[in-house]
Structure 1
């Protein structure tokens, strides 16, 4: 075969090798760009391409080995053929020109373009290409094994563990980022609920409890008629029952049990006591996600929160935890803004017993709730004393003006937010 007849053949072979290089390059990028969680989902759905790719990714060193061996082989063979074509066409190697032209061809058609396409559409490339990769891995296995063996020895020489686990577990913060990035696929309400679920482990029952000063309950030492009137007017499903004060709680009365009582013409305290469920006590440091499980396992809906001394700090209900996930159940605007009252001048009148979490959620603020849990506690903590007259203070970018103090408790405060001013770079120098 003369030189003129071999040039078209070699040119066709060179084009084929460029496409082969593009195949290996796109295969590598697509395999590494696959969404691992979508891949696992498709594997559970018995998707053949996903199952094949998943098996390849179980040994990434072998997968990369066969891809790089194939890619380097076709690139070196392409260089040899390009040199042979140059010799036959120009009569001499023309090394520099051949190298420049071949480098541009490989870079554009076998690297940048296929890798860009593979990064944009990894599934379309990875699943079909895995068919040939499985075959090549079997054919080239001895060579792949030897190359990986040498590579592992070199890695160990540098003190790196070559058998590190392929951990794709997400931390809560990473999962939070995934939820944020999925805004186009998840409705805003569902996105907020998922984020609230992630927050449950960071929030304790102490953060959302109803403080003891606000507990509505039945004092068995009251007159029976007053007790019945209170039961008839209550808006709660369950009422704590105690003697004299909440520290002497004896149980919880469910309103469905009241039906049995009203059928009796003569109701006394003993009748009420017999219908009580035993009190359920929990420590104040219990995380919300743990308490949600405890409510379920113990079949309880109301718990008394106690501090380290065993004193009752407040109560928490199952509905309180669910509201942390789905938001307030009430649709009454007046109910949802009992503690925070916007004013015409842009400030807010806030009840001192309002929790900082409630204020932050209602106003999208970031008041520090690490130590103090209520507005009263936060102001007293910053003042380091209980004010006996109206005073004002600044807490970072938040301002508070005490409006009313009663019984050593800040009843009402006026608050507003003054964002930190941007630094004036023009005045520098």
Structure 2
């Protein structure tokens, strides 16, 4: 064909050219909308809707029925792509004869890949929330029109998959809400958007359902308790010298907790006229003890503390024997980390050595080590670091005995009777002869 005939042909078929360009633009719209609406943050959309953003509400309603939305967009995208390719093929056949089919195929492949797939999807994924808000009004109208067809297509797909034993269900998600939150927080931490302290606090909140009071309680061997049969002066002196505001009181046996004394109640009693420490009857000052099972999870215990407006509970096992005590502060520390005040006693439970090793008291909780040092030691079978060593070694180790597991070298430094009281921990690859 001569140049004059080509120009005449283009002048005659300019409407087809404009139609092809319009169809490519429509394909780009469908591709970008699909990417943005499937990648947008539902949490951010809910926040924006609560703040009065009308388009965010449209986005939320669209993604509530994701299968209907995606089906409608895919139908529209395929429809405009096929129509654009057909028009181009027809046009090129008139321009180039039989070779126009091959030319049209190559040209449309390049145009659709660049301008209808890669470009709009890259744009949408770079800012999915903004893109979704922008296209949502138009998409809502389109889905209202094409939605019934999309629903019919989805029904046919489900029937076909059902023949092969595949069932599609939207009722049960693969991840729980807690797992999704935890995964999002960990991902943001790795990307640097969330600092370690914030990750630990959020993780602490999510862990409340998985931990029991036995995991964080003060064990009975570490409890500070009062014997009700001791002289009143000794009891008063012990309470005033203690760093704790509440202390359990027992009589006859440490398993027989008869009450909990609060330092303020003691001071009020001593402030009574003609009251001397020697005349104090501690049983008239104590509050009724609150006993909780050691299997209670922390979320339930926290709610119980809030309902009762209490701060202190005695932990017992299934036989009613005292196992330890738990306070509201213990649970809050699982969320925010250690809470210290001017009366707290500084206990050196973890010490960094010059050679890079860590010297740890046996009673240090595994969770505290994991938080402080960003380790991942398991805490399902044991609560303390000494308990982990005993569990993994299946024995009560001797002093200077060493074990390697979970990428760490554990060396028993001190043992008192059957209790491991001090350990040295270093990376497994940095093994040295046991001390």
Normalising TM by the smaller chain, what interval? 0.7 to 0.9
**Residue equivalent to 2:414:** 403
Range moving further from structure 2, 57-66 or 194-203? 57-66
**Residue equivalent to 2:207:** 199
Range moving further from structure 2, 339-348 or 116-125? 339-348
**Residue equivalent to 1:426:** none
Q: Which SS does the other structure have where 2:230 is aligned?
A: coil
Q: Does 1:280 align with 2:290?
A: yes
**Residue equivalent to 1:53:** 59
Range moving further from structure 2, 188-197 or 166-175? 166-175
Any gaps of 5 or more consecutive residues in structure 1?
A: 423-429
CA displacement at 1:114 relative to structure 2: 1.5
Aligned partner of 2:313 among 303, 311, 316? 303
Q: Which SS does the other structure have where 1:294 is aligned?
A: helix
Q: Does 1:384 align with 2:392?
A: no
**Residue equivalent to 2:4:** none
**What is the rounded CA distance, in whole Å, between the counterparts of 1:133 and 1:354 in structure 2?**
57
The answer as to whether partners of 2:232 and 2:282 remain within 8 angstroms in 1 is no
Aligned residue pair count: 417
Any gaps of 5 or more consecutive residues in structure 2?
A: 1-7
The answer as to whether partners of 1:347 and 1:414 remain within 8 angstroms in 2 is no
**Residue equivalent to 1:125:** 131
The answer as to whether partners of 1:304 and 1:315 remain within 8 angstroms in 2 is yes
**Residue equivalent to 2:11:** 5
The answer as to whether partners of 1:347 and 1:415 remain within 8 angstroms in 2 is yes
Aligned partner of 1:413 among 419, 422, 433? 422
- List per-residue Cα deviations over 1:283-306 (Å, max 9, x = no partner): 222222221112222222111111
**Residue equivalent to 2:323:** 313
RMSD: 3.3
Q: Are residues 202 and 59 of structure 1, via their aligned partners in 2, closer, same or farther at CA, if it must alter by over 3 Å?
A: closer
**What is the rounded CA distance, in whole Å, between the counterparts of 2:112 and 2:382 in structure 1?**
64
- 5 Å matches for 1:31-50? 31-50=37-56
The answer as to whether partners of 2:35 and 2:128 remain within 8 angstroms in 1 is yes
**Residue equivalent to 2:248:** 240
Aligned partner of 1:104 among 103, 110, 114? 110
CA displacement at 1:253 relative to structure 2: 0.7
- List per-residue Cα deviations over 1:294-328 (Å, max 9, x = no partner): 22222221111112322112212111111121111
**What is the rounded CA distance, in whole Å, between the counterparts of 1:123 and 1:366 in structure 2?**
34
**What is the rounded CA distance, in whole Å, between the counterparts of 2:308 and 2:142 in structure 1?**
58
CA displacement at 1:66 relative to structure 2: 3.3
**What is the rounded CA distance, in whole Å, between the counterparts of 2:113 and 2:43 in structure 1?**
32
The answer as to whether partners of 2:243 and 2:345 remain within 8 angstroms in 1 is no
**Residue equivalent to 1:255:** 263
The answer as to whether partners of 1:328 and 1:336 remain within 8 angstroms in 2 is no
After TM superposition, the score normalised by the length of structure 1 is 0.84
**What is the rounded CA distance, in whole Å, between the counterparts of 2:10 and 2:422 in structure 1?**
95
The answer as to whether partners of 1:220 and 1:242 remain within 8 angstroms in 2 is yes
- List per-residue Cα deviations over 1:194-223 (Å, max 9, x = no partner): 111122222222222222222212212112
- List per-residue Cα deviations over 1:133-190 (Å, max 9, x = no partner): 3333444566556545544443443444456338486443332121123345545433
**What is the rounded CA distance, in whole Å, between the counterparts of 2:263 and 2:183 in structure 1?**
43
Runs of 4+ residues over 6 Å off in structure 1: 331-334
